[in-house]
């Protein structure tokens, strides 16, 4: 860790941050969509993936075109496919990849390694995991497992 006087830090010219979602999500950042079951979080995530892949607005925010990987760890593939068909209505974005994996567990060495390799090999800049709770093997309600 390198320290510096506050006066030096304040005068340092820093680069402007790059935002994937204007003023909400900086490149390299992490965001969460949280809510009760059935409030359409997955649909919101699909809309987010679509907007980022096209560089179009998401809600009221501008987005930066990025390669997106959206991982469904909750729904059966046929139901998830039907959702995408309904959502897209014949429009198919070119910068989105989808993975269906109820087996992906990010808190295991193989799960985190598999994801890291996939992201690197395919140059995904944004990864959306739907749903985070089902993509862990441990009990996230317990501090020991969550840590």
**Mind listing the pLDDT tens digit for each residue in 81-108?**
999 999 998 888 989 999 988 788 888 8
When pLDDT is cut at 50, 70 and 90, the band that residue 74 belongs to is confident
141 and 147 in contact (C-beta within 8 Å)?
no
Higher pLDDT, 133 or 63: 63
Decide if pLDDT at 143 tops 80.
no
Per-residue burial over 17-49, b if 16 or more Cβ lie within 10 Å, else e, is eebbbeeebeeeeeeeeeeeeeeebbeebbebb
User: Can you give the pLDDT at residue 146?
Assistant: 61
pTM, full prediction: 0.83
Enumerate the H helices of 24-66 as residue ranges: 41-54
Mean per-residue pLDDT over the chain, rounded: 89
Residues 6+ apart with CB under 8 A from 51: 57, 58, 63
Q: What percent of the chain stands above pLDDT 90?
A: 63
pLDDT digits (tens, 9 = 90+) for 108-122: 888 889 999 999 999
Q: How far apart are CA 75 and CA 100, in angstroms?
A: 8
Q: For tokens 């046929």, name the residue.
A: 78
53 three-state secondary structure: helix
> In this predicted structure, what is the pLDDT of residue 45?
94
pLDDT classification of 67: cutoffs 50, 70, 90 = very high
132 has a pLDDT exceeding 90:
no
Higher pLDDT, 139 or 101: 101
Output the pLDDT for position 127.
94
Give CA–CA dist 50/85, Å, rounded: 13
């Amino acid at each position: 860790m390198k320290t510096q006087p506050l006066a030096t830090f304040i005068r340092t010219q820093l680069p402007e941050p790059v935002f994937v979602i204007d003023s909400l999500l900086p490149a390299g950042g992490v965001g969460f969509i949280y809510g009760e079951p059935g409030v359409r979080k997955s649909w919101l995530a699909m809309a987010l993936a679509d907007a980022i892949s096209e560089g179009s607005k998401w809600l009221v925010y501008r987005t930066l075109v990025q390669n997106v990987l959206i991982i469904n760890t909750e729904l059966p593939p046929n139901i998830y496919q039907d959702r995408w068909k309904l959502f897209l209505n014949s429009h198919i974005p070119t910068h989105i990849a989808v993975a269906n994996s109820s087996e992906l567990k990010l808190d295991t060495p193989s799960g985190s390694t598999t994801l890291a390799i996939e992201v690197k090999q395919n140059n995904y800049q944004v990864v959306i995991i739907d749903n985070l709770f089902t993509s862990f093997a441990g009990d996230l309600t317990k501090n020991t497992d969550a840590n």
